[in-house]
Amino acid sequence: MTRESIIIAPPRADRVATTMAFIRPAERSAAGEDKEGRFAPLFALSYPLVSNLLMKQHRIGKLASFALFGLVALPLGVRGDEVAALKTPLVTAANGMVVAQEAMAARIGVDVLKNGGNAIDAAVAVGFAMAVTYPRAGNVGGGGFMVIHLAGGDDTVIDYRETAPAAINATSFLDAQGNADPQKSRESALAIGVPGTVAGLAMAEAKYGSGHFTLAELIGPAIALARDGITVADDTADSLPVDRARLARWPSAAAIFLKADGSALSPGDKLVQPDLANTLAAIAKGGPRAFYEGPVAEKLAAAVQAAGGVMTADDLKDYRAIERKPVRGTYRGYDIISMPPPSSGGVALIEMLNILEGYDLARAERAQALFLMVETMKRAYADRAWFLGDPDRVQVPVARLTSKSYAADWRATIDPAHATPAGEIHAGGTVDREGRNTTHFSVIDQFGNAVSNTYTINFSYGVGLVAAGTGVLLNNELDDFAAKANAPNAYGLLGDVANAPAPGKRPLSSMTPTIVLKDGKPFLVTGSPGGSFIINIVLQVVSNVIDRGMDIAGAVSAPRVHDQWMPDRVLAEPTLSSDLVTALQARGDTVQVRPLITSANSILVTPAGITGAADPRTRGALAAGY
Catalytic residues: 438
Residue whose C-alpha is closest to residue 553's, from 543, 562, 544: 544
CB nearer to ligand DON: give 277 or 482: 482
Binding status of residue 239 toward ligand DON by CB under 6 A: no
Nearer to ligand DON, 383 or 480 (CB): 480
Contact with ligand DON (CB under 6 A) among 28, 246, 299, 436: 436
Tell me: does residue 509 bind ligand DON (CB under 6 A): yes
CA dist., res. 130 & res. 132, Å (int): 5
Q: Specify the 3-state DSSP secondary structure of 60.
A: helix
Which of 46, 163, 252, 456 binds ligand DON (CB under 6 A)? It is: 456
CA distance 491 to 564: 10
Strand order through the sheet with 97-100: 322-324, 155-160, 143-149, 450-458, 437-444, 97-100, 622-625
Give the span between the Cα atoms of 475 and 461, in whole angstroms: 7
Provide the mask over 33-72, with x wherever binding to ligand DON is found by CB under 6 A and - wherever it is not: --------xx--x---------------------------
Distance between CA 491 and CA 34 in Å, rounded? 10
How many residues are given for the chain? Answer: 626
One of 118, 185, 197, 438 touching ligand DON (CB under 6 A) = 438
User: From the CA atom positions of the chain, what is the Rg in Å?
Assistant: 22
* CB closer to ligand DON out of 500 and 511: 511
Residues 189-228 close enough to bind ligand DON by CB under 6 A: none
Residue 193 or 612 having the CB closest to ligand DON: 193
499 binds ligand DON (CB under 6 A): no
Give the residue with the Cβ less far from ligand DON, 449 or 510: 510
Across 593-612, b (16+ Cβ under 10 Å) vs e yields bbbbbbbbbbbbbeeeebbb
Closest separation between CB of residue 598 and ligand DON, Å? 7
Mention every residue, 6+ apart, whose C-beta is less than 8 A from residue 59: none
Instruction: Kindly state the helix (H) or strand (E) to which residue 388 belongs, with its residue range.
Output: none
Stretch binding ligand DON (CB under 6 A), from 17-25, 179-187, 441-449, 523-531: 523-531
Residue 340 contacts ligand DON per CB under 6 A: no
CB–CB of 93/625 below 8 Å? yes
Query: Binding-site residue total for ligand DON (CB under 6 A)?
Result: 18
- If one asks whether residue 498 binds ligand DON (CB under 6 A), the answer comes out as no
- CB 373 to ligand DON: min, Å: 20
**Residue of 19, 239, 437, 442 that binds ligand DON (CB under 6 A):** 437
| Residue 152 Cα to chain centre, angstroms | 28
Whole-angstrom distance, CA of residue 341 vs CA of residue 395: 10
Q: Which stretch binds ligand DON (CB under 6 A): 51-59, 240-248, 306-314, 432-440?
A: 432-440
Please say which residue, 101 or 420, places its beta carbon nearer to ligand DON. 101
Closest approach of ligand DON to the CB of residue 530, in Å: 5
Residue type, 203: M
Q: Are 116 and 582 in contact (CB under 8 A)?
A: no
Pick from 531, 559, 574, 620: which binds ligand DON (CB under 6 A)? Answer: 531
Question: Which position among 121, 315, 480, 589 is part of the footprint of ligand DON (CB under 6 A)?
Answer: 480
Q: Within 10 Å of residue 52's Cβ, how many Cβ atoms?
A: 15
Among 442, 458, 514, 575, binds ligand DON (CB under 6 A): 458
Q: Which is nearer to ligand DON, 401 or 511 (CB)?
A: 511
Among 339, 385, 346, 402, CA closest to 498: 385
What is the side-by-side order of every strand in the sheet holding 570-572?
Answer: 561-562, 570-572, 591-593
x/- mask, ligand DON, residues 543-582, rule CB under 6 A, reads ----------------------------------------
Residues 6+ positions from 577 with CB-CB distance below 8 Å: 81, 82, 83, 559
With respect to ligand DON, which residue has the nearer C-beta, 537 or 572?
A: 537
15 contact partners, CB below 8 Å, separation of at least 6: 3, 9, 426
CB 477 within 8 A of CB 465: no
511 binds ligand DON per the rule CB under 6 A: yes
From candidates 172, 510, 577, 618, binder to ligand DON by CB under 6 A: 510
Stretch that binds ligand DON, among 119-127, 309-317, 414-422, 526-534 (CB under 6 A): 526-534
Q: At what angle do helices 366-387 and 578-586 cross, to 10 degrees?
A: 60
526 vs 605: CA distance, rounded Å:
12
348 binds ligand DON (CB under 6 A): no
CB of 370 to ligand DON, least distance (A): 23
Smallest gap from Cβ 510 to ligand DON, in A, equals 4
Using CB under 6 A as the binding rule, the residues of this chain from 593 to 612 that contact ligand DON are 597
Q: Which amino acid is at 600?
A: A
Q: Which residues pair with 327 in a beta bridge?
A: 338
- Backbone phi, psi, residue 609, to 5°: 135, -175
Closest CB to ligand DON among 477 and 547? 477
* Smallest gap from residue 588 Cβ to ligand DON (A): 29
CA distance 516 to 520: 9
Q: Which residues bind ligand DON (CB under 6 A)?
A: 41-42, 45, 436-438, 456, 458, 477, 480, 509-511, 529-531, 534, 597
